[in-house]
Structure 1
Amino acid sequence: MTHATTAVRSSSNNRAAETMTVRLTESEDEICRLLERVADYIHEKQTAEPRLTLRIAGGWVRDKLLGLESHDVDVAVDHMSGFELAQQVNAYLAEHGQAVHTIAKIGQNPERSKHLETATTSVLGQAIDFVNLRTETYSSTSRVPQMAFGTATEDAQRRDITINALFYNIHTRAVEDFTGRGLSDLQARVVRTPLEPVQTFADDPLRVLRVVRFASRFDFRIDEDTEAAMRLPQIHAALDTKISRERVGVELDKMAAGARPLLAIRLMLRLGLYAAVFRAPPHAPAPTEPVESAASVTETVLDLLDARDAAGELVARLPTASAVTAPATRRALVLAAYTFPYHGTTVADGRRTAALAAVVVRDGLKLSSHDAETTAALHALAPRLAAAAETCAAGGMGRQALGLLVRDAGARWPAGAVFAAAVDVYRGMQPAAAAAKYAALAAAIDAHGLAEAYALKPLVDGRAAARILDIRPGPRIRDVLEQVMAWQLDHPEATPAECEEFIRRDIAPGLHTG
């Protein structure tokens, strides 16, 4: 496959551009040529209006310059809304007998003018967001900016960091660096804000987390002035009070699921952001561990999952190793590690009590109830699996005890073993010893064929048990089935008939006399 390669020509004449190139795929080159024709098509119909300049904006340009593939394409236009441009693209395609797709408006907000509407549609098989160049004005009373049409320079300066403020001019095939620092920062691996950082973060405190996310994603250094602003108490307070928890959670989730979650939590700790990000409810107890423990446990979790050094023995010996290292499980373990300082603590949650870490995940980060439940479960599993591993090593766990452990822990038990090992390492155990400890427990579980004991069904169901015992189905049947399962684990070859006999012989007398 051939590609179009474009040498970077910076609008700011930045010497960093001399060693950087944008390498287009055939599909990207075809899209650029199509958009050029659309611009000509619009000008032919609207000769009295200024000729449009179309640019690809933001992350796509950054990734291309880093030699990465990107499918996140934003096309920015001057003198027209993104929605209007998308309509013109479809009109051109229809006139030339090419496929058109439905246009969806993005982020409709009745408080904003229709002339700033943006849209997304598919062009030649590529999803593209169409936006207009804009400028933002913030007031001291609102975090929501007033937006208006802007120039390319104004649009670049309103962005969060310089490396996200680059444009690729579709007509000249040049990269445009209107901040004057985006290309050099990309080459020097630096993250900085386009404008003065204190005001930038005061205007939109979420940019603090975006700096952390991109610095950790690419392993870039944060500029000194930018970092100094990120440390200011008033910026932390603004992040805590001005930004919705949903927006905080979105950024945090991207870090947890990203390429370098350890660097992300280390940066948050270094910048003093932990309390503002992982916000506990009012009057919650103090964390049970120093907040720095979040990084320590995260580091060991990742060492275990990535099989670094001797710690890799554990995951390799888990019966479900591929599931444990899957992205969803990795993310769940990272979230549990991030919130480890809150483990073992409960807090009032309506009329009930709940694990503080679960409340932080659910309410402080606005992640899902499943995420909150999984975090609490992993925290609770750590001490239980630690005790079980020690008992197993001493020869004190038979098949029944191991099976009941797995049934109680559920499908999360392998991930729980990884988390428990990480906690042991945090408490001083050598990584190799912790890995061996839980690998031995996993091996014992697997040797008895109990890796999926949580899915095991009783040989006799509740209705049959009620009939045998001549009682009505109800709460007592739950206790009966628990006894059945314990017996069944000790008798893996038993038949339903033998199980029925066990119920008559061992359960019925005690049930009726009681």
Structure 2
Amino acid sequence: MESAAAAISRLHELTASPPISRLSAEFEAAGFELSLVGGPVRDAFLGRPVKDLDFTTDATPDEILRIVKPIADAHWDIGRQFGTIGARILGETVEITTYRSDAYDGLTRKPEVQFGTDLEGDLTRRDFSVNAMALRLPQRVLVDPAGGIEDLLAQSLRTPSQPEVSFGDDPLRMMRAARFAAQLGFDIDDATFEAMRAMAERIDMVSAERVSDELTKLMLTEEPGKGIRLLVDSGLAAHVLPEVPALRLEIDEHAHHKDVYEHSLTVLAQAIDLEAARGHEPDLVLRLAALLHDVGKPKTRRIDASGAVSFHHHDVVGSKLTAKRLHALRFDKETISAVSRLVELHLRFFGYSEGAWTDSAVRRYVRDAGDLLERLHILTRADVTTRNKRKAARLRTAYDDLERRIEELSEAEELASIRPELDGQQIMQLLELKPGPQVGEAYRFLLDLRLDEGELGREEVERRLVEWWRHR
């Protein structure tokens, strides 16, 4: 954490910029209060980059619009029903929200927006004390009614009011606690955590869209594993992502096997390290797949007479469970499809180290992965958590070899765009078929032929197709 003097200096420099100076002067001239609030103030004290400029005011949304319209390059009111007006002023994007407090009536799944009248009241109804600080403008006076500075120093997350009241106002704040713990590296104070455990079931009243949005933010933090642990330990995960706590399989003296829950969190952490090492931005699809890749194990767990444990087909079962859960959380179709496909494919590599694959097997691996290939590379490498250094080195070397072969074959054959040597029109003409399922069947035969044997030439492909069709 930066010194108070350094943080105040950063805030002064930020608020002295032409866009904010202009904005604060206009609000003062109109007789309204304006304060920089929440994240920007917190991050200034933490020495983190200040990204989003959020302001709060006693002006209503209509009054905000009236003030910003003459000075804005553009403005929008998509959040107007929640009291928020967005604008771009001298190239700087800002959001300005009327003092408010959100509360559930216990009957609906969306909070009722209530506008407030003073800054201190607005701040004490916010989620956590470290987010409940504001800088009054243009005076540049720090307002911290809930002791946010002390909690920043202690690296602690605490609600400004009693946690039972705060979480009662908006149960999603319990998930937000896990997200901020992961994002900031802070711990949740005991009273706040106990309230999360006692009130976990109230998360059910929050809409799936809001839950998935918060889960997405958590998964894209630097250390999502810490937040996932808090969701599991508090009981929240049992309501929003029950497949994860289910990974904590009972381990007895007769059936020793890897702790699947701890393994999954390790895979997630290793995938994030590889993601960065290979030059990628935080990837929600990859991270969800890493966390959920083994969710099929509880349903497929079997113990034989010797005490050995098996999880046959947990990849296929896990893929279905993953798709079902992400659909329930209202994730988009593309994300659901990509994550569930990665879960289905995550075991394909194992066995490669036991014996070299044929070129056709490598081609199929690439074809099945499609545009998920790079993510599958990372997930498969991250899935190696063995403490046996010799085994880990063997698997790493084997995957290095597989990636090398994929690259060589790709250069020679453009694997990503492999197609049969005859298209649908040519197939219909040769076999005298009309459009229908039979054409697709013939196309798949030719694609398998292409993957197994490479390019054969038009004449040979036509001969093989006619022969296959005659004997099918």
TMscore range, shorter length: 0.7 to 0.9
Note closer, same or farther for the CA distance 1:472–1:42 as it changes in structure 2 (3 Å cut): closer
**Deviation of residue 486 (structure 1)?**
3.6
Matches of 2:107 and 2:454 in 1, distance apart?
A: 68
Residue type at the aligned position of 2:79: I
Note closer, same or farther for the CA distance 1:219–1:103 as it changes in structure 2 (3 Å cut): same
Question: Do the aligned residues in 1 keep the contact of 2:38 with 2:132 (CA within 8 Å)?
Answer: yes
- What's 2:466 paired with? 508
Matches of 1:369 and 1:345 in 2, distance apart?
A: 26
Structure 2: tracts of 5 or more residues without a match: 251-258, 300-317
Q: 2:236 aligns with which of 273, 277, 294?
A: 273
**Deviation of residue 289 (structure 1)?**
6.1
SS at 2:30's partner residue?
helix
The alignment's TM-score, normalised by the length of structure 2, stands at 0.82
- What's 1:332 paired with? 285
- What's 2:138 paired with? 171
- What's 2:308 paired with? none
**In the TM superposition, what are the counterparts of 1:249-398 in structure 2 within 5 Å?**
249-279=212-242, 287=246, 290=249, 293-307=260-274, 321-322=278-279, 325-327=280-282, 330-343=283-296, 355-363=320-328, 365-387=329-351, 389-390=352-353, 393-395=354-356, 397-398=357-358
CA shift digits 1:304-325 (9 cap, x unpaired): 5525xxxx9xx98xxxx55xx3
Matches of 1:367 and 1:22 in 2, distance apart?
A: 42
Residue type at the aligned position of 1:383: L
Say whether 1:202 aligns with 2:168.
Answer: yes
CA RMSD of aligned residues (A): 3.3
CA shift digits 1:282-311 (9 cap, x unpaired): xxx99566497355324234325525xxxx
- What's 1:39 paired with? 27
**Deviation of residue 72 (structure 1)?**
1.5
- What's 1:161 paired with? 128
- What's 2:66 paired with? 87
Matches of 2:15 and 2:113 in 1, distance apart?
A: 36
Question: Do the aligned residues in 2 keep the contact of 1:421 with 1:438 (CA within 8 Å)?
Answer: yes
Residue type at the aligned position of 1:150: T
Residue type at the aligned position of 1:507: L
Higher relative contact order structure (alpha carbons within 8 Å, sequence separation ≥ 6)? 1
CA shift digits 1:199-228 (9 cap, x unpaired): 222332111011111111010111121112
Question: Do the aligned residues in 2 keep the contact of 1:39 with 1:53 (CA within 8 Å)?
Answer: yes
**Deviation of residue 356 (structure 1)?**
1.2
- What's 2:255 paired with? none
Q: 1:150 aligns with which of 104, 107, 117?
A: 117
CA shift digits 1:399-452 (9 cap, x unpaired): 122212321232223322432344442798854444333223222322333796
**Deviation of residue 35 (structure 1)?**
3.0
Q: 2:445 aligns with which of 483, 487, 505?
A: 483
SS at 2:21's partner residue?
helix
Question: Do the aligned residues in 2 keep the contact of 1:344 with 1:379 (CA within 8 Å)?
Answer: no
Question: Do the aligned residues in 2 keep the contact of 1:265 with 1:338 (CA within 8 Å)?
Answer: no
Matches of 1:488 and 1:406 in 2, distance apart?
A: 13
Matches of 2:383 and 2:325 in 1, distance apart?
A: 20
SS at 1:76's partner residue?
strand
- What's 1:74 paired with? 54
Matches of 2:262 and 2:16 in 1, distance apart?
A: 40
Matches of 2:94 and 2:197 in 1, distance apart?
A: 36
Note closer, same or farther for the CA distance 1:168–1:357 as it changes in structure 2 (3 Å cut): same
**In the TM superposition, what are the counterparts of 1:85-124 in structure 2 within 5 Å?**
85-91=64-70, 93=71, 100-108=73-81, 117-124=83-90
Question: Do the aligned residues in 2 keep the contact of 1:265 with 1:294 (CA within 8 Å)?
Answer: no
- What's 2:419 paired with? 457
Structure 1: tracts of 5 or more residues without a match: 1-7, 9-15, 44-51, 94-98, 110-116, 347-352
**Deviation of residue 243 (structure 1)?**
0.8
Matches of 1:163 and 1:459 in 2, distance apart?
A: 63
Say whether 1:405 aligns with 2:365.
Answer: yes
SS at 1:251's partner residue?
helix
Q: 1:499 aligns with which of 423, 439, 458?
A: 458
Q: What percent identity do the matched residue pairs reach? A: 25
**Deviation of residue 377 (structure 1)?**
0.9
- What's 1:4 paired with? none
Matches of 1:71 and 1:199 in 2, distance apart?
A: 30
Matches of 1:183 and 1:128 in 2, distance apart?
A: 24
Across the two proteins, how many residue pairs are aligned to each other? 442
The alignment's TM-score, normalised by the length of structure 1, stands at 0.76
**Deviation of residue 103 (structure 1)?**
4.1
SS at 1:448's partner residue?
helix
Note closer, same or farther for the CA distance 1:297–1:376 as it changes in structure 2 (3 Å cut): same
SS at 1:296's partner residue?
helix
Note closer, same or farther for the CA distance 1:288–1:133 as it changes in structure 2 (3 Å cut): closer
SS at 2:331's partner residue?
coil
